[in-house]
Structure 1
């Protein structure tokens, strides 16, 4: 039994306490306007209290956005790098000192262990921004403790742990938003609606531009920097000697180039583009049935195929030059970031949806959608099951790439068919003591 007070109860208690104090005529102190929500300031009772876990490069936008959000209070930060966590603690406390009246705020705590955040009853939600191999263990601990989660993409390291997390989110009644923020972009939503409503006819081929990482490599051992908990950074992953390249958060190499911590480009950009493809095809709670590596039947590109024959090719040159290129029997849709949307016929890009057309979930700000869902308790635009199904495509593509084999996949049973060696990669061994 989870006896953690709910965030709604905590906020309700604070609201009642504040109003009761304000109504006491003999009170020997002045209630600050911020506590009452005056002058446009969100009162403490209505702020979502956050913990931020993993403070590398991907965290920069999240940290800045949440730090300056009037409806949010950052209570704690966590990273295995002491310098990073202390820097963020200092930045947050400096920012809050300018805007929080004296006596209403205790400061920001900085932890090495994520457990210190998920065990706190005063924290409503956390952002999980670690390397991929830590996503599920931390998110699982958070939802079990009663916290909601914004989890960076891809949601999981393996198919089986993704299924465990999705089931746990439902079991504990939590909100989990996966950081596949292209869903909260107008151009990608519009592209998905055009395809979903059949305006370019039956889609038969899709190109997805992922790019490549340098290959994994052996690295010479170097001394672990003081204040860096390397054993905890590795966590459940196999042990390797420390080297700064192994733990680097570089978006073009670093830990992302190693299989131990993710699915390389299939998990990096694949988690974005495969997600939009799933959305556009109406397959976000299912998936493809066949995966193939480079060289299959002479193909120069890796890819996968859905039961209706729709084929996705990774890094096939797209005539439009865009990130995702849908080819239908009656037209084309191409879409990229920075609101690029190209259609053939051209008028489809601006043609209004009719009342009878399928209108997709609208979100114009991915973080804001998460915060709104924390308050309303509805499913976010990149809900946990959607994130699991997209991550499954990333993992199956990676397994096919690593083994150089085709895979048959049953999306209903979530099983690889007739390939015992590939099936073993649906989970991975865990280094003690980092069990799930």
Structure 2
């Protein structure tokens, strides 16, 4: 599917400055090496995932990290990768969407989790699917005495992958407009689902994902790594345990979007691309590279990020990361605000037309106010005894990743009676839940509540900045039917209406 689902975070969270940030966020200061990102991801699994694994798994991930540090992907996996795992604990995984996000991060990082076997990949771009298949098979070949491995199927149509009964779970890394249709189909097919953020484009469809996950007793995880980044985890624990006193204000900033000059030329789709299936449920519009992704290119940022036909820009792209941590720290991850007011400006382009600026304010039932805007990515928590700020990366203005009004806040120790959160890699979190049938750290309900805040801002902007009352229990605007009509998107194109 041209899976370029954006991720906002460096897996280990180590950045030398704004110039080294992750490429999938989009702005010019968000560039970094994909290989370095994968190396850090593997090391992060070694650091966090093995806390709940036995010693053999610990040695494996440490080995994977060391090998990755000196070589480019694909990485050498030890020959005992599957042998150490009991068949009942082995998890077979299929990837739907194999763009730059999947091949730089998702596939290599999941293959680094002990007992996970990638058995299928799928993309409507046959070149991308072929590259992903080669990545999987060349990685696994390194563990075979023969140096050969042929065990990863490649599909064009995701429905064929879902029909396979030997696949336990899927990772969906497609353009945003496909997230919900594919997730619902996977859940109904009996697959556990790890879904790239933002998981939805409209509030109503998110509630369907929550209900379908429960109805089919499936495991679901929002694929966001920010709860696994130590500084965000530390900030959330300190705030929840009132080390800054009573929380009253949260300020969130996502990166600014860029709209570089690019030709708007209608052409025939590349031979590798099934463009009609790429569009899927979206409105049928003529092909142009600016709408999709550059052919045979796994490095450039795809154009669909900036088109309202397929995505909602930085508002949801980074909001899914940062607003989630704000919710986590505020103790509101399974509910939402009671009031929203937002303004913004859409880019005036024929193809690229997502928000280029926005300012949103939310009020929660506990009195906390959340302000969400665009700037260098960070979250600032303000309480009646001090403040704490967690930065995505360091900069001249913010030389530390974690800052506070007093050193005592950062040095505070948490005791056994304090609220504590698990700290583990998002990949391990998902796989462990698949095995145990437990709950992930960001399940469907948490994901729905987080991304709904971003959607509420979008609705507020479309309602011309009016102050709107929101009922988080019923997920409705009690006194604004015009706003309620924006809870649901346009009808899907046939045959994808559900």
* TM bracket (short chain): 0.7 to 0.9
Q: 1:330 aligned to 385, 396, 414, which one?
A: 385
Call closer, same or farther: CA 1:224–1:252 in 2, change over 3 Å. closer
Task: Write the deviation string for residues 338-378 of structure 1: whole angstroms up to 9, x where unpaired.
Answer: 69221222222131112221112x13211111111111111
Q: 1:240 aligned to 285, 293, 296, which one?
A: 285
Call closer, same or farther: CA 1:253–1:312 in 2, change over 3 Å. farther
Distance 2:453 2:208 in 1: 16
**Bigger radius of gyration among the two:** 1
Task: Write the deviation string for residues 67-97 of structure 1: whole angstroms up to 9, x where unpaired.
Answer: 3444111110001100000111122222222
* Structure 1 unaligned residues grouped into runs of 5+: 1-32
Distance 1:179 1:413 in 2: 26
Residue 279, structure 1, aligned to residue 328, structure 2: yes
Question: What corresponds to 1:425 in structure 2?
Answer: 486
- Is the partner of 1:191 in helix, strand or coil? helix
CA RMSD of aligned residues (A): 2.8
Distance 1:210 1:37 in 2: 40
- For residue 218 of structure 1, report the CA deviation from its aligned partner: 10
Task: Write the deviation string for residues 313-338 of structure 1: whole angstroms up to 9, x where unpaired.
Answer: 22376xxx761011111110111236
Q: 2:435 aligned to 375, 387, 400, which one?
A: 375
Q: 2:371 aligned to 307, 313, 331, which one?
A: 313
Answer yes or no: is the 8 Å Cα contact 1:363–1:369 preserved in 2: no
Question: What corresponds to 2:169 in structure 1?
Answer: 125
1:181-260 aligned at under 5 Å gives the runs 181-214=225-258, 219-248=264-293, 254-260=303-309
Question: What corresponds to 1:28 in structure 2?
Answer: none
- Is the partner of 1:292 in helix, strand or coil? strand
Answer yes or no: is the 8 Å Cα contact 1:75–1:123 preserved in 2: yes
Call closer, same or farther: CA 1:328–1:106 in 2, change over 3 Å. same
The number of aligned residues is 395
Distance 2:412 2:113 in 1: 35
Distance 2:335 2:323 in 1: 12
Residue 58, structure 1, aligned to residue 101, structure 2: yes
Answer yes or no: is the 8 Å Cα contact 2:95–2:171 preserved in 1: yes
1:80-229 aligned at under 5 Å gives the runs 80-100=124-144, 107-214=151-258, 219-229=264-274
Question: What corresponds to 2:72 in structure 1?
Answer: none
Distance 1:395 1:114 in 2: 27
Distance 2:214 2:300 in 1: 32
Distance 2:108 2:136 in 1: 9
- For residue 224 of structure 1, report the CA deviation from its aligned partner: 0.6
- Bigger drift between 64-73 and 194-203 goes to 64-73
- For residue 404 of structure 1, report the CA deviation from its aligned partner: 2.2
Call closer, same or farther: CA 1:70–1:105 in 2, change over 3 Å. farther
- For residue 35 of structure 1, report the CA deviation from its aligned partner: 9.2
Distance 1:44 1:98 in 2: 21
- Bigger drift between 183-192 and 90-99 goes to 90-99
- Is the partner of 1:261 in helix, strand or coil? coil
Question: What corresponds to 1:24 in structure 2?
Answer: none
Q: 2:454 aligned to 375, 394, 404, which one?
A: 394
- Is the partner of 1:42 in helix, strand or coil? coil
Call closer, same or farther: CA 1:290–1:282 in 2, change over 3 Å. same
Distance 1:74 1:131 in 2: 21
Question: What corresponds to 2:420 in structure 1?
Answer: 359
- Is the partner of 1:154 in helix, strand or coil? coil
- For residue 384 of structure 1, report the CA deviation from its aligned partner: 1.0
* Structure 2 unaligned residues grouped into runs of 5+: 1-77, 345-357, 394-399
- For residue 248 of structure 1, report the CA deviation from its aligned partner: 2.7
Distance 2:385 2:201 in 1: 38
Answer yes or no: is the 8 Å Cα contact 2:81–2:115 preserved in 1: no
Call closer, same or farther: CA 1:91–1:58 in 2, change over 3 Å. closer
Task: Write the deviation string for residues 270-311 of structure 1: whole angstroms up to 9, x where unpaired.
Answer: 11111111111100010112221238xxxx832322233322
Distance 2:286 2:95 in 1: 27
TM-score scaled by length of structure 1:
0.83
Question: What corresponds to 1:261 in structure 2?
Answer: 310
Residue 303, structure 1, aligned to residue 361, structure 2: yes
Answer yes or no: is the 8 Å Cα contact 1:214–1:253 preserved in 2: no
- Is the partner of 2:194 in helix, strand or coil? strand
- For residue 386 of structure 1, report the CA deviation from its aligned partner: 0.2
Q: 1:411 aligned to 435, 449, 472, which one?
A: 472
Distance 2:300 2:204 in 1: 26
